[in-house]
């Protein structure tokens, strides 16, 4: 494991992603990638009584599945790293409460899947653990309740608004010899180009994504073409087009190698999701439900996965603050 | 991050964001709001005529009409129908008293999971609270002005 500066670490012995699972809600199951996920829950409450418990149950299920699919028992996992959007990360805290695994709670907003995978890879790559469980979740209803208006409130969504994904993803990264591997990681830094509109999160986060990808490519001396796919987390349709223009302005030829989980997960025309999906579960479910399986099958060889997060809160927004954003990148190899 | 790392400045980026962002369809939104808002007012008028015909005086008729509209909107909110109408109608359901009813009923429902006291009751005016506060203040100011200039 070598530290190359500017937040980038390259692995000599590449951590292996040994198991992964994604569980999503009904709407996500009806989307273009609906068939990729391990499970689709029709009940928005996931059999629970509150939205917060529903989200936590969703996360618990994908964690359980990731352990089962890799034939792991609790004692085989050295650490778990998880986070979510709810205040004090309660979705993660309650989802992992029943497991006898040392726990780190992290907050990276919607970049959490990449953040936990960066940390997990570095810990296992540094020899401090054999297996690390990384996971995150989001739920449309709990996010609306905390960040916007009550569910039954009669309002209209703006054309730039994104739809929080009900979904979760979990994976186990550790010492191993089977692909897909984590080849390098780049930790993001906080970028803020002054966007204040919380109804346009993709626009706020796009510069953070471009910044991290740019630093990643510069530090490793690579062109964007090195990758089969460069994937942002939840910039959505507007953020994606902004990212493309930013890449052009920075002189990075991204070609047709770029896509965004938020732009992928829903069908804009039939699902009425405006600017696309968002939330921790967006990037997590696309990574664990689509990207990692495709890499395992050999259809994708090199993927740069860079989930994106907006580090604001309703309080900061009401105080007139702009939206600081972050993006962590994980270079995956099969 | 320090300014200047990106080739794009905050000002330039604001222009880019504006260029890429979608705009609300104002003509369509206005037409729908006009239509649904008009229907709600017509229902109000029908109710008014009905209460009048039942022998209510002018003041009571107004009160009974408002109460009925509030009741209908709160019931539709509870049934999960109001937000669907509002998604279509926008200001058409927001501006009449139906919008106020929905703004009180919806947080009461949403926060019921935290209990009747720390949840529903304490959050019930989360959306409508500002309307009550500033409505009361402006009516006090209007009353003082009325007292000074008209009486």
Say what the pLDDT of residue B12 is: 94
Residues A47, A118: one domain?
yes
Q: Which residues of chain A have pLDDT under 70?
A: none
Q: Do A242 and B103 touch (CB under 8 A)?
A: no
Residues A64, A208: one domain?
no
Say what the pLDDT of residue A102 is: 98
First vs last Cα of chain A: how many Å apart?
Answer: 18
Q: Do B110 and A151 touch (CB under 8 A)?
A: yes
Residues A215, A141: one domain?
no
Disruptive mutation site among B16, B89, B113, B120 for chain A (greatest number of A CBs within 10 Å): B16
Locate the domains of chain B by residue range.
23-149
A191 touches B: beta carbon within 8 Å:
yes
Tens digits of residue pLDDT in A153-195: 999 999 999 999 999 999 999 999 999 999 999 999 999 999 9
Three-state SS string across chain B, please? CCCCCCCCCHHHHHHHHHHHCCCCCHHHHHHHHHHHHHHHHHHHHHHHHHHHHCCCCHHHHHHHHHHHHHHHHHHHHHCCCHHHHHHHHCHHHHCCHHHHHHHHHHHHHHHHHHCHHHHHHHHCCCCCHHHHHHHHHHHHHHHHHHHHHCC
Say what the pLDDT of residue B7 is: 75
Of A159, A174, A189, which closes a domain?
A174
Nearest CA in chain A to B88: A156
Residues A166, A237: one domain?
no
First vs last Cα of chain B: how many Å apart?
Answer: 62
How many residues can be counted in chain A? 334
**Local structure of A131: helix, strand or coil:** strand
Residues A46, A160: one domain?
yes
A192 touches B: beta carbon within 8 Å:
yes
Instruction: Determine the distance in angstroms separating the CA of B71 from the nearest CA of chain A, rounded to an integer.
Output: 15
Say what the pLDDT of residue A195 is: 96
Check if the beta carbon of residue A11 is closer than 8 Å to that of residue A174.
no
Residues A220, A95: one domain?
no
Say what the pLDDT of residue B2 is: 62
**pLDDT greater than 90 at residue B85:** yes
The verdict on pTM exceeding 0.80 is yes
Window 37-66 of A: residues touching B by CB (8 A cutoff) are 49-52
Tens digits of residue pLDDT in A5-21: 889 999 999 999 999 99
What are B10's two structure tokens?
């905050």
Tens digits of residue pLDDT in B18-49: 999 989 899 999 999 999 999 999 999 999 99
The shortest CB-CB distance from B109 to any of A49, A152, A191 is to: A152
Query: Who contacts A228 (Cβ-Cβ below 8 Å, separation ≥6)?
Result: A257, A300, A301, A302, A303
Say what the pLDDT of residue B6 is: 73
The shortest CB-CB distance from A154 to any of B17, B21, B99 is to: B99
Angle at CA of residue A327, ends A70 and A133, nearest 5°: 20
- Strand pairing category for A167-174 and A131-138: antiparallel
List of chain A residues whose C-beta atoms are within 8 Å of the C-beta of residue B6: 193, 207, 210-211, 246, 250
Say what the pLDDT of residue A6 is: 85
List of chain A residues whose C-beta atoms are within 8 Å of the C-beta of residue B127: 149-150, 153
Say what the pLDDT of residue A5 is: 87
Residues A124, A194: one domain?
no
List of chain B residues whose C-beta atoms are within 8 Å of the C-beta of residue A155: 83, 86-87, 94
Residues A200, A116: one domain?
no
Provide φ and ψ at A259, rounded to 5°: -145, 170
Of A174, A194, A215, which closes a domain?
A174
In DSSP terms, A333 is beta-bridged to: A181, A302
Residues A50, A124: one domain?
yes
Q: What is the DSSP string of A167-224?
A: EEEEEEEES-SSSSEEEEEE----B------TT-HHHHHHHHHHHHHHHHHHHHT--G
**Angstrom distance (rounded) from CA B94 to CA A78:** 53
A238 touches B: beta carbon within 8 Å:
yes
In DSSP terms, A24 is beta-bridged to: A40, A167
**Angstrom distance (rounded) from CA A109 to CA A312:** 9
The shortest CB-CB distance from B20 to any of A210, A242, A249 is to: A242
Residues A206, A152: one domain?
no
Check if the beta carbon of residue A166 is closer than 8 Å to that of residue A281.
yes
Count of structural domains within chain A: 2
Please, which contacts does B3-6 make with residues 24 or more away whose CB atoms are closer than 8 Å? B5/A211, B6/A193, B6/A207, B6/A210, B6/A211, B6/A246, B6/A250
Of A119, A145, A174, which closes a domain?
A174
Which CATH number belongs to the domain containing residue A300 in this structure?
3.40.47.40
Check if the beta carbon of residue A267 is closer than 8 Å to that of residue A31.
yes
Q: Do A193 and B10 touch (CB under 8 A)?
A: yes
Residues A157, A117: one domain?
yes
Chain centre to alpha carbon of residue A220:
23
CA A328 to each of CA A216, A269, B38, B48: distance values in angstroms, whole numbers, following the listed order: 10, 30, 51, 61
List of chain B residues whose C-beta atoms are within 8 Å of the C-beta of residue A90: none
Say what the pLDDT of residue A217 is: 96
Query: Who contacts A77 (Cβ-Cβ below 8 Å, separation ≥6)?
Result: A67, A101, A131, A132, A133, A172
Q: Which of these, A29, A63, A64, lies nearest to A43 by C-alpha position?
A: A29
Say what the pLDDT of residue A126 is: 95
- Which chain B residues touch A if contact means CB-CB below 8 Å? 1, 5-8, 10, 13-14, 16-17, 20-24, 29, 77-78, 80, 82-83, 85-87, 89-90, 93-94, 99, 102-103, 105-107, 109-111, 113, 126-127
Q: Helix A140-147 to helix A51-69 angle, to the nearest 10 degrees? A: 140
**Angstrom distance (rounded) from CA A275 to CA A118:** 28
Which ipTM did the prediction report?
0.92
Q: Which of these, A329, A286, A278, lies nearest to A306 by C-alpha position?
A: A329
Q: How confident is the model at residue B3 (pLDDT cuts 50, 70, 90)?
A: low
What range does the domain containing A286 cover?
181-333
- Residue carrying structure tokens 């994606």: A240
Residues A101, A53: one domain?
yes
């Amino acid at each position: 494991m070598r530290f190359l500066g500017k937040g980038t670490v390259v692995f000599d012995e590449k951590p292996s992603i040994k198991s992964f699972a994604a569980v999503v809600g009904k709407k996500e199951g009806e989307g273009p990638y609906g068939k990729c996920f391990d499970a689709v829950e029709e009940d928005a409450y996931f059999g629970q009584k509150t939205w917060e418990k529903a989200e936590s149950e969703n996360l618990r299920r994908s964690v359980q599945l990731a352990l089962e699919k890799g034939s792991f028992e609790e004692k085989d996992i050295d650490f778990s790293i998880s986070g979510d959007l709810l205040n004090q990360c309660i979705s993660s805290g309650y989802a992992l409460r029943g497991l006898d695994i040392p726990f780190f709670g992290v907050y990276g907003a919607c970049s959490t899947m990449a953040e936990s995978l960066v940390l997990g890879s570095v810990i296992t790559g540094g020899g401090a653990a054999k297996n690390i469980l990384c996971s995150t979740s989001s739920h449309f209803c709990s996010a609306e309740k905390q960040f916007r208006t009550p569910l039954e409130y009669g309002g209209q969504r703006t054309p730039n608004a994104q739809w929080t994904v009900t979904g979760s993803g979990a994976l186990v990264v550790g010492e191993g010899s089977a692909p897909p591997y984590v080849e390098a990681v780049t930790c993001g830094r906080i970028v803020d180009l002054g966007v204040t509109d919380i109804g346009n999160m993709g626009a706020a986060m796009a510069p953070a994504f471009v910044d991290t990808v740019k630093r990643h490519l510069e530090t490793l001396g690579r062109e964007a073409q090195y990758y089969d796919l460069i994937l942002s987390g939840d910039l959505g349709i507007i953020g994606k087009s902004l990212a493309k223009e930013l890449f052009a302005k920075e002189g990075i030829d991204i070609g047709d190698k770029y896509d965004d989980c938020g732009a992928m997960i829903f069908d804009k025309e039939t699902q009425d999701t405006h600017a696309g999906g968002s939330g921790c579960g967006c990037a997590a479910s696309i990574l664990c439900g689509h990207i990692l399986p495709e890499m395992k099958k050999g259809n994708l060889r090199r993927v740069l996965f860079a989930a994106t997060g907006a580090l604001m809160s309703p309080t900061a927004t009401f105080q007139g603050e702009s939206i600081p954003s972050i993006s962590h990148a994980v270079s995956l190899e099969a | 991050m320090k300014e200047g790392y990106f080739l794009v400045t905050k000002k330039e980026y604001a222009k880019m964001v504006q260029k890429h962002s979608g705009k609300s369809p104002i003509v369509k939104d206005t037409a729908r709001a006009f239509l649904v808002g008009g229907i709600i007012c017509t229902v109000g008028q029908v109710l008014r005529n009905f209460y009048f015909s039942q022998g209510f005086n002018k003041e009571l008729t107004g009160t009974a009409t408002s109460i009925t509209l509030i009741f209908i909107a709160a019931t539709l909110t509870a049934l999960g129908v109001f937000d669907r109408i509002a998604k279509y109608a926008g200001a058409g359901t927001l501006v009449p008293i139906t919008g106020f009813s929905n703004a009180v009923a919806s947080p009461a429902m949403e926060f019921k999971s935290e209990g009747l006291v720390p949840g529903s009751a304490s959050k019930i005016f989360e959306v409508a609270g500002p309307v009550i506060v500033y409505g009361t203040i402006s009516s006090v100011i209007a009353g003082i002005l009325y007292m000074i200039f008209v009486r």
